[in-house]
Chains A and B, each alone.
Chain A
Amino acid sequence: MTVDWKFAWSILPELLSGLLVTLKASLVGFAIAAVLGLVFALARRSRSKWVSAPVGGLVEFVRSTPLLVQLFFFFYVLPQYGLRFPAFLVGTFALGLHYSTYTSEVYRAGIDAIAKEQWEASTALNFSMTRTWVGVILPQAIPPMLPALGNYLIGMFKESAQLAAITVVELLQTGKIIGSHTFRYLEPITLVGILFFALSYLSALALRQLEVRIERQHR
Chain B
Amino acid sequence: MHNREQSGSRTASLVWAAIIFLALGISLGVSWAGKRPLDLLPTMLRGVVVTVKLTIGAALLSFLVAVLAGIARASKVWLIRTVSAFYIEFFRGTSALVQMFWIFFVLPLPPFRITLTPLQAGIMALGLNVGAYGAEVVRGAILAIPRSQIEATIALNMPPGLRMRKVILPQAMIRILPPFGNLLIELLKATALVSLITLSDVTFQALSLRQTMGRTKEIFTLLLAIYFLLAYPLTLGVRWLERQRRWA
State the total of A-B contacts with C-beta under 8 angstroms: 143
Chain A interface, >50% SS class = helix
A64, B19: Cβ atoms under 8 Å?
no
By the criterion CB–CB under 8 Å, are B106 and A189 in contact? Answer: yes
Assembly CA distance A193 to B20 (angstroms): 38
Q: Does A88 lie at the interface of the complex (its beta carbon under 8 Å from any beta carbon of B)?
A: no
Q: How far is the CB of A48 from chain B (nearest CB, A)?
A: 12
Q: Which residues of A contact B9 (CB under 8 A)?
A: 49, 52-53, 56
Residue of A nearest to B202 (CB): A69
Chain A contacts with B in 161-211, Cβ cutoff 8 A: 161-162, 164-165, 172, 176, 179, 185-186, 189-190, 192-193, 196-197, 200-201, 204
Instruction: Give the dominant DSSP class at B's interface.
Output: helix
A69 B203 Cβ-Cβ under 8 A? yes
Q: In angstroms, how far is the closest chain A Cβ from the Cβ of B114?
A: 13
| A9 interface hit (Cβ, 8 Å) | no
Q: Report how far A193 CA is from B196 CA in the complex, Å.
A: 17
Chain B residues whose CB sits within 8 angstroms of the CB of A70 once the complex forms = 224
Interface size on A, residues (CB 8 A): 43
Q: From known contacts A60-B13, A158-B94, A204-B93, infer whether A193 and B102 are also in contact, taking CB-CB under 8 Å.
A: yes
Contact A56 B13 (CB under 8 A): yes
A74's nearest neighbour on chain B, judged by CB, is B220
22 contacts between A and B (CB under 8 A): A49-B9, A56-B13, A56-B17, A57-B17, A57-B19, A61-B21, A61-B224, A65-B227, A65-B228, A65-B231, A66-B189, A66-B203, A67-B189, A69-B206, A158-B93, A158-B94, A161-B98, A176-B101, A189-B101, A196-B95, A200-B94, A204-B93
Binding site for A on B (CB under 8 A): 9, 12-21, 28, 89-90, 92-95, 97-99, 101-102, 105-106, 109-111, 185, 189-193, 195-196, 203, 206-207, 210, 216-217, 220, 223-224, 227-228, 231-232, 235
Footprint of B on A, CB under 8 Å? 1-2, 49, 52-54, 56-58, 60-61, 64-70, 72-73, 76-77, 80, 158-159, 161-162, 164-165, 172, 176, 179, 185-186, 189-190, 192-193, 196-197, 200-201, 204
